[in-house]
Amino acid sequence: MKKIFAPFFLLFLAVASYPQREIGIRPTETGGPLRFEQAAFDVLSYDLSIKVDPKAQWITGTAVMTAKIVVPTNVIDLDLDTPYAVHRVFGDIGGGQGDLRFERDHGRIRVFFPMTKQPGESFETIITYSGKPRIAPMPPWIGGFMWEKTPSGADWISVALQNDGADLMFPVKDHPSDKADQVALRITVPDPLVAAGPGTLQEVKKNQDGTSTYHWLMTNPIPNYSIVFNAAPYRVIKDSMKSVAGDTIPIEFYILPESYDKGQKLIDETKKYVEFFEKYLGPYPFRSQKLGIAETPHLGMEHSTMLAYGNNFQYNEHGFDWLQLHELGHEWWANLVTASDWRDFWIHEGFQSFMDTLYLEHIGKKDAYMAEMRSRASRTRNMQPVAPREPKFAYQVYLAEPEYLRSDGDIYGKGAVVLHTLRYLIGDDAFFRALRRMAYPTKDMERMTDGRQTRLVNTDDFLHIAEQESGMKLDWFFEVYLRQPNLPKLVVQNILSSGGSETPQSQSLTWDTPDALPFPMPVEVIIDGKRQRVEMKNGAARISYLGKQPAFDPDGWILMAR
């Protein structure tokens, strides 16, 4: 059977063929161990004004950051990519505003305050900068700006930041543990370009120099890499749908004129996907903002409230657009629920890859769901932990040494199959309750739309929720599947019998695990034509049979070495 997610898998193979220098030594880094000069403050808002010159491939910007001090400090670090020149840094100097001393250290801006700021004290920095942004060598996996042309020859500008950081576009605290509560984005582009951004459009200002400024405001917390814009001579298709919560979800599709006739079909499909996610995960999280889509020259990205879409309106043999389904689901697994460190990024990609596959079951194709999970399991690389305990930079969770050019770090496929196996272990009722609680821990949060519904999480949060919903201890499960890379193996040995052909035969079952880790995973076995679940409380069991050899885990529920 043709696999529905083959395009996504092949695109990772395309990444593997890219020159080592561009992937192994990335132009910038995002995340990693949190430096004191980053940890000392909490970002409250960004207010960005960016003028875009597509002819010169140049931007001029002013970034206003408001933040609150967490621990006493007289110095903070912000990140800004090296192609930009910093013209001025000014802000609070006690009793007013003035120039602040700063130092550039490669991709960092170190800002010094005249006096030590105290916990709870708010401050503002204003940075003016300009430069020629780094061009994305392979978007969206290796990030930067894209200066492209539409089919009619008009300028088409796009930005992708996830794996390399928002410092490719503006001065930022470049760490996933801190999301701004609010972001204003004022993008000035030459007419007739239209700039699409996060949140809601506040106004469009026509300027005397033949440009227009599009003012977008996102009033919910947003990951740094979602603070982007796309610009083209877009047309806008507006629609809406009713959420399961009873609210109306505004839908806006910023689409190229050449694609306009295809837009409504994708919107209609997207409504089906929303209903699917709301069934299992709860309400669309950003009903107070919008569900936005922007047609882009790259494949796609889960930019909150303005999904990047570049799949060319392709529908697979099951009748749906896998890319739109995937990116929309990240509004729950990435934008509602955000990993506080890249080490837990499987909560974005593994959870969403599970949902991608679950959609097959949702549309009545359970056999296809099972087949796709078996296929995902067969492609796991098992070269590094899916959820390591130490802090990670973004690229480290995707790429595993020494064969990093051929691995996505297993955060997609293996993460999905780990959830599939957990579903088998604890049963559908407990599993789907846990899944929904991971999205929305309480029913009250499902009703919130002001940003309080969002949260930062790690892998232990899901362990706690799954244990509560199942009534089972599951630390052993998480330890084997997520904290180290190697798969368990089921060892089956025949036990010799002195009886005749009518005497039952026996076999011993033992789980062989890395470092002899506990693994009491029960196994479904077909014995003499009957299915039964064999418990293995100490990682071992014994079975007897009369007829042909038993079949172990016949449907492929358990992720194991085969």
Longest CA–CA span in the chain (Å) reads 98
Mean pLDDT of 451-468: 98
Which percentage of the chain shows pLDDT scores above 90? 88
Q: What was the pLDDT predicted at 433?
A: 98
Q: Which of 83, 127, 131, 133 is nearest to 109 (CA)?
A: 127
Encode pLDDT of 209-252 as tens digits: 999 999 999 999 999 999 999 999 999 999 999 999 999 999 99
Task: Tell me the pLDDT band of 407, cut-offs 50, 70 and 90.
Answer: low
Residue 22: is its pLDDT beyond 90?
Answer: no
Q: What was the pLDDT predicted at 1?
A: 35
Task: Tell me the pLDDT band of 26, cut-offs 50, 70 and 90.
Answer: low
Q: What was the pLDDT predicted at 256?
A: 98
Task: Tell me the pLDDT band of 325, cut-offs 50, 70 and 90.
Answer: very high
Alpha carbon dihedral 280, 283, 285, 290, in 10-degree steps, equals 120
Encode pLDDT of 409-454 as tens digits: 799 999 999 999 999 999 999 999 999 999 999 999 999 999 999 9
Q: What was the pLDDT predicted at 501?
A: 61
Q: Which residue has the tokens 């903070």?
A: 76
Q: What was the pLDDT predicted at 409?
A: 77
Task: Tell me the pLDDT band of 496, cut-offs 50, 70 and 90.
Answer: confident
Q: Which of 376, 413, 380, 561 is nearest to 487 (CA)?
A: 561
Mean pLDDT of 473-492: 98
Q: Are 292 and 378 in contact (CB under 8 A)?
A: no
Cis peptide before 151 (omega within 30 of 0): no
Encode pLDDT of 74-121 as tens digits: 999 999 999 999 999 999 887 788 999 999 999 999 999 999 999 999
**CA distances to 22, 176, 193, 455 from 25, in Å:** 6, 21, 35, 31
Mean pLDDT, the chain, rounded, equals 93
Q: Which of 323, 385, 316, 374 is nearest to 352 (CA)?
A: 323
Residue 306: is its pLDDT beyond 80?
Answer: yes
What are 412's two structure tokens? 């997609």
Name 100's Cβ contacts closer than 8 Å, sequence gap at least 6: 89, 90, 91, 93, 111, 112, 113, 125
Encode pLDDT of 358-367 as tens digits: 999 999 999 9
What is the C-alpha separation between 42 and 65, in angstroms, rounded? Answer: 10
Single-letter amino acid, residue 361? E
Q: Which residue has the tokens 């708010």?
A: 122
Q: What was the pLDDT predicted at 499?
A: 61
pTM summary value: 0.93
Q: What was the pLDDT predicted at 93?
A: 82
Residue 402: is its pLDDT beyond 90?
Answer: no
Q: Which of 196, 187, 174 is nearest to 61 (CA)?
A: 187
Mean pLDDT of 291-312: 98
What is the C-alpha separation between 544 and 528, in angstroms, rounded? Answer: 9
Task: Tell me the pLDDT band of 27, cut-offs 50, 70 and 90.
Answer: low
Q: Are 37 and 75 in contact (CB under 8 A)?
A: yes
Q: What was the pLDDT predicted at 404?
A: 40
**CA distances to 29, 122, 180 from 79, in Å:** 10, 20, 15
Lowest model confidence (mean pLDDT) among 141-155, 394-408, 434-448: 394-408
Mean pLDDT of 463-474: 98
Mean pLDDT of 273-296: 98
Lowest model confidence (mean pLDDT) among 20-34, 355-369, 419-433, 526-540: 20-34
Residue 403: is its pLDDT beyond 80?
Answer: no
Mean pLDDT of 322-333: 98
The helix (run of H) or strand (run of E) holding residue 327 is helix 322-329
Say how many C-beta atoms besides its own lie within 10 A of residue 428's C-beta. Answer: 9
Radius of gyration of the chain (CA): 26
Q: What was the pLDDT predicted at 148?
A: 98
Mean pLDDT of 456-472: 98
Q: What was the pLDDT predicted at 436?
A: 98
Encode pLDDT of 187-205 as tens digits: 999 999 999 999 999 999 9
DSSP 222: B
